[in-house]
Amino acid sequence: MCARAASQVPGNPEERAGNGGSRNGPPSPERRRLATALLGTGLISTIVSFFYPVARYLIPVMQEESMTAVTAAKISDLKLNSGRIFKFGSRPGLLVRTSGGTWKAFLAVCPHLNCTVQYRSETQQIWCACHNGTFDLNGQVISGPPPKPLEEFEVNVRGDEVIVSRSRRA
């Protein structure tokens, strides 16, 4: 059929095109189901994206609160005047063996902006690299912006293991 003859066929142009629908009529049931499914998926995604971070925040806090004691190291792991990071629940702890052989442990989270602190053997102090905050070996602030001391843990040595627990004073 030539082009001129095709343009002269009577009837609805969309029916002639063979797509089976109408632009101005009501949507077909399949389209409605698809639109409903897309809206439902979007709503569920929005709810999940809101509650997931909240749950992720609350669950570690609950884990940490229930954490009472951990084995932070073996005695042989730390020489005198050294420190190491260990896990206390979901948060870092800092275990220090002083030059005099005393064990000290703290929550290794800086009370300024939550950076992880570390032990510096040169100065025998605890240091926060983020804003140069320093603490003494009792966790007290020596200098820098931290607004309060580090949380101190209790340390007990049992056999070869160094056990760290939440301080009864805290």
**Contact residues for ligand FES (CB under 6 A)?**
110, 112-113, 115, 128, 130-131, 133, 144-146
* Nearer residue to ligand FES within complex by CB, 149 or 154: 149
**CA–CA distance from 46 to each of 40, 55, 56, 77, 105 (Å)?**
10, 15, 16, 48, 42
User: Closest separation between CB of residue 131 and ligand FES, Å?
Assistant: 3
Task: Judge whether 164 and 72 are in contact, CB under 8 Å.
Answer: yes
* Nearer residue to ligand FES within complex by CB, 44 or 113: 113
User: Closest separation between CB of residue 111 and ligand FES, Å?
Assistant: 8
* Nearer residue to ligand FES within complex by CB, 85 or 130: 130
* Nearer residue to ligand FES within complex by CB, 84 or 112: 112
* Nearer residue to ligand FES within complex by CB, 109 or 162: 109
User: Closest separation between CB of residue 138 and ligand FES, Å?
Assistant: 17
User: Closest separation between CB of residue 137 and ligand FES, Å?
Assistant: 17
User: Closest separation between CB of residue 136 and ligand FES, Å?
Assistant: 15
